[in-house]
Chain A
Amino acid sequence: QVQLQQSSPGLVKPSQTLSLTCTISGDSVSSSDAVWNWIRRSPSRGLEWLGRTYYRSRWYRDYAKSMRSRIIVDPDTSKNQFSLQLTSVTPEDTGVYYCARSATFISGWFDSWGQGVLVTVSS
């Protein structure tokens, strides 16, 4: 059974960088059958997909158009993790952040989720 365990950064100041990691057990970040995603939920935006990474002979990264200028999702094969970096954060980036796995490439189906971490952007 796949389990995803997230780090918890908590409070981030405006204009700084939000960094989260998701540690995978029961699967591999390098699996050719999985896609590794970051999703957040906020009162103003509901659930919002942010970006993903996956391995298909090489590494791919896809990002939500609204995030493309300030987001990086990276795999770390040595730790079986993937990470999220979001730069230049504002209070609008406050929310609960989830990592999630999808077993299919073109899908809204996420079959395993991390526990979620609350990130507050405030000075």
Chain B
Amino acid sequence: QSILTQPPSASGTPGQTVTISCSGTGSNIVSNFVSWYRQLPGTAPEVLIYRNNQRPSGVPDRFSSSESGTSASLAISGLRSEDEADYFCATWDDSRGAPVFGGGTKLTVL
């Protein structure tokens, strides 16, 4: 029962664009920056997006994000087989005074 709600799974074929949603409340996504992480099996999460739409150096512009009200979305364009991983959203929650995460979305590239 994560604070932020993500679909448990998503899929797409190579070259497609896939969107992963992250739903929160007025105490988190509305008022704070959202980050997105990718986690490959057996490795630590790595940040793809921070401060809503900033990408660290080395993260391709195939990864983009957007926010609307209490929700955020991660879009992956030009889908590749190596994009198969778990994806998490995260932000700060004002009522909890703590960072909160989504439950994660397992992306399968068909």
**A95 contacts the other chain (CB 8 A):** no
CA distance A107 to B31 in the complex (A): 11
CA distance A110 to B45 in the complex (A): 9
> B43: which A residues are within 8 A, CB to CB?
115-116
Once the chains bind, are B98 and A110 in contact (CB under 8 Å)?
Answer: no
How close is A99's CB to chain B, nearest CB, in angstroms? Answer: 10
Once the chains bind, are A48 and B101 in contact (CB under 8 Å)?
Answer: yes
Once the chains bind, are A62 and B98 in contact (CB under 8 Å)?
Answer: yes
**A114 contacts the other chain (CB 8 A):** yes
CA distance A77 to B104 in the complex (A): 35
**B99 contacts the other chain (CB 8 A):** yes
Once the chains bind, are A47 and B50 in contact (CB under 8 Å)?
Answer: no
**A98 contacts the other chain (CB 8 A):** yes
Once the chains bind, are B101 and A62 in contact (CB under 8 Å)?
Answer: no
Size class of B's contact patch? 20 to 34
**B44 contacts the other chain (CB 8 A):** yes
Known: A108-B35, A109-B33. A46 touches B99 (CB 8 A): no
CA distance A107 to B47 in the complex (A): 13
Of the candidates A45, A108, A113, the one whose C-beta lies within 8 Å of that of B34 is A108
- A45-B2, A108-B92, A109-B33 known; 8 new pairs, CB 8 Å cut-off, are A45-B1, A47-B101, A62-B98, A102-B99, A109-B90, A110-B45, A110-B90, A114-B44
State the 3 A-B residue pairs at the shortest beta-carbon distance, nearest first.
A108-B90, A113-B44, A47-B101
A-B contact pairs, 23 of them (CB 8 A): A37-B99, A46-B2, A46-B101, A47-B45, A47-B90, A47-B104, A62-B97, A64-B98, A65-B98, A100-B44, A106-B92, A107-B32, A107-B99, A108-B34, A108-B90, A108-B101, A109-B47, A109-B51, A110-B37, A110-B47, A110-B90, A111-B47, A116-B43
